[in-house]
Amino acid sequence: MDPVARNFVAASVIYFFLGVCLGMIMVFFGLEDHMQLRFAHSHLNLLGWVSMMIYGVGYHILPRFSGNPVAYPSFMAYHFWLANVSLLGLVSLWGYSQLLAGIFALMQVLATGLFVVNILASIRPAPHTD
């Protein structure tokens, strides 16, 4: 398994644990209506646990469906760092600093774009070798 794909899976399960811990804390302390905590909980789970599991498994599996390697392997590490730094920045600062949260949101969008371009290029039908 590619190290970046493995790192995405590892990051995903760590966000899963953080996300459910935060949900549990919200229930325990009656903080369901705390906007920043709800945002952090839902996005740690959805951009962290769910999306990063899809990135990791997707980089490993999706290109194989069409018999190609990942089209732009060098994009993967940029995607990993952009996605992680921006997620942590976003869940820490949304609701506190619109400017900084906006910058992290833009970084998250760029990270997503790197994934989309790479997967679209990777799932093109492989050239016939006969």
Q: Which residues bind ligand HEM (CB under 6 A)?
A: 19-20, 23-24, 26-27, 32, 35, 38-39, 41-43, 45-47, 49-51, 105, 108-109
What's the rounded Cα separation, in Å, for the pair 81 and 123? 23
CB of 35 to ligand HEM, least distance (A): 5
Q: Using the minimum distance from each CB to ligand HEM, give the nearer residue, 9 or 68.
A: 9
How far apart are alpha carbons 55 and 80 in whole angstroms? 9
Shortest distance, CB of residue 4 to ligand HEM, whole angstroms? 19
Q: Which is nearer to ligand HEM, 23 or 100 (CB)?
A: 23
76 or 101: CB nearest ligand HEM:
101
Nearer Cβ to ligand HEM (68/112): 112
Residue 114 CB, nearest approach to ligand HEM (Å): 13
Residue nearest to ligand HEM (CB): 23
Burial environment of residue 92 by CB neighbours within 10 A (0 to 12, 13 to 18, 19 or more):
middle
And the tokens for 92? Answer: 């820490």
Distance CA 10, CA 19 (A): 14
User: SS3 string of 111-128?
Assistant: HHHHHHHHHHHHCCCCCC
